Amino acid sequence: MTCQGRSYCGHPRVSDVGREVRMTGWVDALRDHGEVLFIHLRDRSGIVQVVFSAEHTPPQVCERAAALRNEFCVAVTGRVVERAKDTENPHIETGHIEVMATDLTVIAKSKTLPFPISEKAMLAGAVVKGVGSVAEDLRLQYRYLDLRRPTMQDQLIKRHRIIKCLRDSLDEQSFIDVETPVLTKSTPEGARDYLVPSRVHPKHFYALPQSPQLFKQLLMVSGFERYFQIVKCFRDEDLRPNRQPEFTQLDIEASFVDEEFIYELSEDLMVRIFEIGGIALSRPFPRMTYHEAIDTMGSDRPDIRFGMRFIDATGIFGNTSYGIFKQILKRGGCIKGINVKGQSENLSKNVLQNEYAKQIVPGFGAKGMTWMRMINGQLESNIVQFFSNDEQRAIIERFRAENGDVILMIADPSYDVVASALGQLRLHIADRLGLIPQDAYRPVWITDFPLFNVTDEGITSNHHPFTAPDRTDFDPADRRSLLALRSRAYDLVINGEELGGGSIRINDSDVQQKIFQALGLSDKEVKEKFGFLLSALDYGAPPHGGIALGLDRVVAMILGTSSIREVIAFPKNRSAHCPLTEAPSVIAHEQLAELGLFDPAGERRIAGTQEDLDLIDSLSWVSRIGIDDKERPEIAAALKEAARLAELVKERAGEDEPLFSVVNATNLIRKGAAARISPLAENGELFRNAPSVKGRYFKVASILE
């Protein structure tokens, strides 16, 4: 069957009355009145009502129509007529006309549906049962049916238009679309790589790219000056509701530019694509430093649609007699709070004390919360009596408190705990009380990030190791100097959602070498992982920078969907599983053997088996204890002696392993000694070989990953 002469279901209007049409599509819904059968016929363009009646339709056609069911694929021929007065359907574009059928062909039948697909009522005012209550995994298992729904098709069509707008806009500004490799080299970018084994090069692996970072920098060295790509990226990272193991980003890089160029370009693109969703963004986008974002909203992706910014109250309580605050300040802590304006009636004492102070805030990582309400010009709370009159007046002035306001404060020895917990509390309260305007879109640039972070593993890059520092005269061995560096990086945040980020890159090989040294990479590691980049930077690399926008998140925000999975044709579920294809799946042994990963006959040694296994490295990994070069000979000797004894036992026991120990069982717990801290813990010697330390405890990785 061909589409020649076909009319689309969503196109006919009153002006087409009297015209004969041939339409193809799916039966969206049926309504049988005995002598007359009505169906909604749906294709990508929309829905039209088709009528099969004994008066206008041949008997054999009516007979075939009586066997129709939802989602049958059919072809219909008929004449466009105007609907009788008061029978119009305002819920569909073609609601003022209908098609009187004269012929019907059933192209393909459909089994009973696992969930409803129809989204349009056949009668005005009727309720259609949608997929709102259908389990997401069931929708994903039958994604080809889920995608038939007009809502899903509309979202993917709009996604196409958004991407087309981006391509057209960048083409206007002389950007070139260049594809970069998908099979590449594993490099550290903050998340685990997805690895692909090579058959041609046994025991070697490709990595799927977390981003095209190094290749786009090489394109700048190549002289293309302006590059972009709509690219798939892959990250094997911990799952969150709005993450996918594979995602799409708009990747942009340009030479001879600074931050202002990236801001101008990105804002222009965002304004254009948000207009597709009927959303107007104001320019220029405001800017906020990383420090200000953390200090006033507790997040580097702040939601600025509403106020309630943090107020530092530490100075108020320098001479306080309130024990909790006094102890925290003695330990160098801080006290911050927010003023929830005019919400006293919506936050009762019970809610503040028993829900927030005892349950919600501790769940955010803080030990508790202090609250006060402003009633008749006075502060009211269960602890207000512990504060002096001067302190109470200072609180009112600092927080600009008025009657009906609620002041919430968090105190802790750790600034990070205060900022993080208060930031989460700010969002929780605003969401609970409906203080966040839902139809507002407030973008903001976050700038001046720290170049490095301190983690349990040491110093790491905040973004990635190719981000330019704010100055280059730093000593890579001076830890304090490194932590004071700021990066020339920037993130684009809208409504508390990070939609993209980028930076000005390093274009000097000496500076790049210093960054690698600061990260603790050896010369050998640098050469193996980044030798090609350093070599390229020695050949007249231009200053360059760029940005990557997460298209799935951007499109989801523009279209107002609850999840990025709603704007991806075939997404994975929340556990990175595809219910449709059952990926990931077990691979046949023959395929594994061909890749050198499995030997079903036991004839060959393969990577990772005893032939290549270093027992000392294995012992170090299992015990999560570092073993240095000086200790290795002693441990090797102990392992050798253990192997000798094992052979001796086996020799004396014959073929059978001993079933019990000849040594009497003994309680090895020390007797009578009082608990004490080991001197080795006091002087730090005990923790010398620990993989990482938290307080006075070994911090080890989970045995069950």
Q: Indicate which CATH number applies to the domain containing 78.
A: 2.40.50.140
Q: For the chain, what is the domain count?
A: 4
Both 427 and 458 in a single domain? no
Whether 536 is covered by a domain: the verdict is yes
Q: What is the pLDDT of residues 230-280, one digit of tens each?
A: 999 999 987 777 789 999 999 999 999 999 999 999 999 999 999 999 999
3-state SS, residue 698: strand
Both 690 and 559 in a single domain? no
Both 536 and 622 in a single domain? no
The answer to whether the Cα torsion of 149, 155, 159, 162 is positive or negative is positive
Whether 663 is covered by a domain: the verdict is no
Both 464 and 543 in a single domain? yes
Name the domain boundary from 108, 133, 166. 108
Decide which of 407 and 608 is more confident. 407
Whether 473 is covered by a domain: the verdict is yes
Would you place residue 456 in the very low, low, confident or very high pLDDT band (cuts 50, 70, 90)? confident
Whether 57 is covered by a domain: the verdict is yes
* Model confidence at 604: pLDDT above 90: no
Is the CB of residue 679 less than 8 Å from the CB of residue 441? Answer: no
Euclidean distance between CA atoms 688 and 225, whole angstroms:
50
Q: Which helix (H) or strand (E) holds 161?
A: helix 150-172
Given this model, what pLDDT does residue 293 score? 98
Would you place residue 156 in the very low, low, confident or very high pLDDT band (cuts 50, 70, 90)? very high
Both 622 and 559 in a single domain? no
**Domain span at residue 50?**
14-108
Given this model, what pLDDT does residue 188 score? 59
Q: Which helix (H) or strand (E) holds 326?
A: helix 323-330
Given this model, what pLDDT does residue 606 score? 44
Given this model, what pLDDT does residue 206 score? 95
SS3 letters across 356-381: HHHHHHHHCCCCCCEEEEEECCEEEC
Both 361 and 272 in a single domain? no
Looking at residues 325-330, what average pLDDT do you find? Answer: 96
Is the CB of residue 122 less than 8 Å from the CB of residue 49? Answer: yes
Euclidean distance between CA atoms 374 and 377, whole angstroms:
6
Pick from 384, 396, 548: which is nearest to 466 by CA? Answer: 548
Q: What is the CATH number of the domain that holds 383?
A: 3.30.1360.30
Whether 561 is covered by a domain: the verdict is yes
Q: Is the bond leading into 286 cis (omega within 30 degrees of zero)?
A: no
* Model confidence at 218: pLDDT above 70: yes
Whether 215 is covered by a domain: the verdict is yes
Q: What is the CATH number of the domain that holds 249?
A: 3.30.930.10
Name the domain boundary from 542, 567, 582. 582
Single pTM value for the model: 0.82
Given this model, what pLDDT does residue 587 score? 85
Q: What is the pLDDT of residues 347-361, one digit of tens each?
A: 999 999 999 999 999
Is the CB of residue 141 less than 8 Å from the CB of residue 115? Answer: no
Looking at residues 465-475, what average pLDDT do you find? Answer: 95
Given this model, what pLDDT does residue 51 score? 97
Given this model, what pLDDT does residue 650 score? 74
Is the CB of residue 281 less than 8 Å from the CB of residue 270? Answer: yes
- Residue 642: CB atoms within 10 Å: 11
Both 392 and 499 in a single domain? no
Q: Residue 66 corresponds to which tokens in the numbers above?
A: 């009586």
Both 147 and 271 in a single domain? yes
Name the domain boundary from 56, 90, 108. 108
Looking at residues 313-327, what average pLDDT do you find? Answer: 95
Pick from 649, 645, 667: which is nearest to 657 by CA? Answer: 649
Instruction: Report the mean per-residue pLDDT for the chain.
Output: 90
* Model confidence at 136: pLDDT above 60: yes
* Model confidence at 438: pLDDT above 70: yes
* Model confidence at 382: pLDDT above 50: yes
Q: Considering only 2-11, 87-96, 548-557, which range has the smallest mean pLDDT? A: 2-11
Both 151 and 243 in a single domain? yes
Both 391 and 498 in a single domain? no
Whether 155 is covered by a domain: the verdict is yes
Given this model, what pLDDT does residue 693 score? 65
Both 183 and 245 in a single domain? yes
Whether 597 is covered by a domain: the verdict is no
Given this model, what pLDDT does residue 659 score? 54
Both 147 and 274 in a single domain? yes
**Whole-number percent of the chain with pLDDT over 90:** 75
The answer to whether the Cα torsion of 505, 558, 430, 285 is positive or negative is positive
